């Protein structure tokens, strides 16, 4: 994935996490600050169905 | 689902690589799953928990893949126990902890606990596959009480978690199982909604065509080579 796509993916994951968590954000796995956090990850993401 | 602007759920699987008996092995860790509270009744569980695993199994040319899961939620313990093969621990199943289970768990706990946010000070109980004081390495905000954790429809999983996990301390259970043909059959018959079976079957056949049927076809054709795949014999 390109830098722009990765950035959008991170943004979408954060959107879901902030909606879901009542407490502070997580800082491990795909939410880790390490640059290679997504390198060995397979993400399935669901978007709202268009009505 | 057709993509619009609003992301509502995700699952992040992690690939964990290490050597087992001097052979390389990749374990698929069932990572973080999050669903927007407003979307929780839309039946997304089968997509988030099983679908990607089945696709990876098909891409792996139907070779079984070891799967790991770390949780304190009875509903997830039950989902893993009911779906995957040779799962340990799985209450009231008779499934044994084999040497392979133990060696894989030891490797994961020794070198890969950062994948699921468990700190160095957490202790691993090898006999019960319980991680004591697990919420210390970045996953702290996911710690739940037993009352807060989503229950499974079968009480055997709820009772297992209640009896084996210390929710005050923040314990997790680590489960190991396999995605194989039997697990895929269970997923298709028990979890996938009937309305989605046709689409899923077409997608599965497409993957198998690309990853299995076509390579065999090209391998058996000794008239032409296909990329780096050599035919089984040259004239």
% chain B with pLDDT above 70: 97
Chain A hits for B14, CB-CB cut-off 8 Å, are 29, 40-42
Smallest Cα distance from A3 to chain B, Å: 19
User: Which residues touch B115 (CB under 8 Å, ≥6 apart)?
Assistant: A28, A29, B14, B16, B29, B31, B108
pLDDT digits (tens, 9 = 90+) for B161-202: 999 999 999 999 999 999 999 999 999 888 888 888 888 888
pLDDT digits (tens, 9 = 90+) for B192-227: 888 888 888 888 888 888 877 777 877 777 777 777
Does B132 score more than 90 pLDDT?
A: yes
Task: Give alpha helix (H) positions in chain A.
Answer: 3-20
On whether ipTM exceeds 0.85, the answer is yes
Closest CB to B44 among A41, A46, A50? A46
Count of CB contacts below 8 A, A vs B? 112
pLDDT attached to residue B235: 61
Would the CB atoms of A47 and B139 count as touching at under 8 Å? no
Q: Spell out the domain ranges in chain B.
A: 9-192, 195-235
pLDDT attached to residue A51: 60
pLDDT digits (tens, 9 = 90+) for B64-98: 999 999 999 999 999 999 999 999 999 989 899 99
pLDDT attached to residue B4: 62
pLDDT attached to residue B153: 92
């Amino acid at each position: 994935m390109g830098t722009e796509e990765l950035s959008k993916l991170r943004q979408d994951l954060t959107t879901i996490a902030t909606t879901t968590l009542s407490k502070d954000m997580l800082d491990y796995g795909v939410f880790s600050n390490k640059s290679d956090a997504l390198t060995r990850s397979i993400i399935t993401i669901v978007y709202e169905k268009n009505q | 689902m057709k993509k619009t602007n609003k992301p509502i759920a995700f699952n992040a699987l992690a690939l964990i690589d290490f050597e087992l008996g001097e052979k390389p092995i990749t374990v698929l860790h069932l990572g973080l799953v999050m669903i927007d509270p407003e979307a929780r009744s839309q039946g997304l569980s089968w997509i988030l928990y099983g679908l990607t695993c089945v696709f990876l199994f098909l891409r792996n040319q139907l070779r079984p893949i070891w799967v790991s899961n770390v949780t304190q939620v009875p509903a997830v313990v039950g989902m893993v126990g009911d779906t995957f093969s040779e799962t340990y621990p799985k209450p009231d199943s008779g499934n044994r902890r084999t040497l392979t289970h133990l060696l894989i768990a030891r490797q994961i706990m020794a070198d890969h606990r950062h994948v699921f946010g468990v700190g160095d000070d957490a202790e691993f109980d090898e006999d019960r596959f319980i991680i004591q004081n697990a919420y210390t390495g970045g996953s702290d905000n996911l710690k739940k009480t037993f009352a807060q954790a989503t229950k499974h429809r079968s009480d055997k999983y709820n009772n297992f978690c209640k009896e084996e996990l210390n929710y005050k301390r923040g314990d997790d259970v680590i489960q190991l199982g396999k995605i194989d043909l039997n697990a895929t059959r269970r997923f298709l018959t028990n979890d996938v909604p009937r309305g989605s079976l046709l689409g899923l079957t077409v997608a599965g056949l497409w993957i198998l065509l690309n990853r299995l049927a076509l390579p065999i076809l090209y391998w058996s054709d000794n008239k032409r080579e296909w990329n780096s795949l050599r035919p089984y014999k040259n004239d």
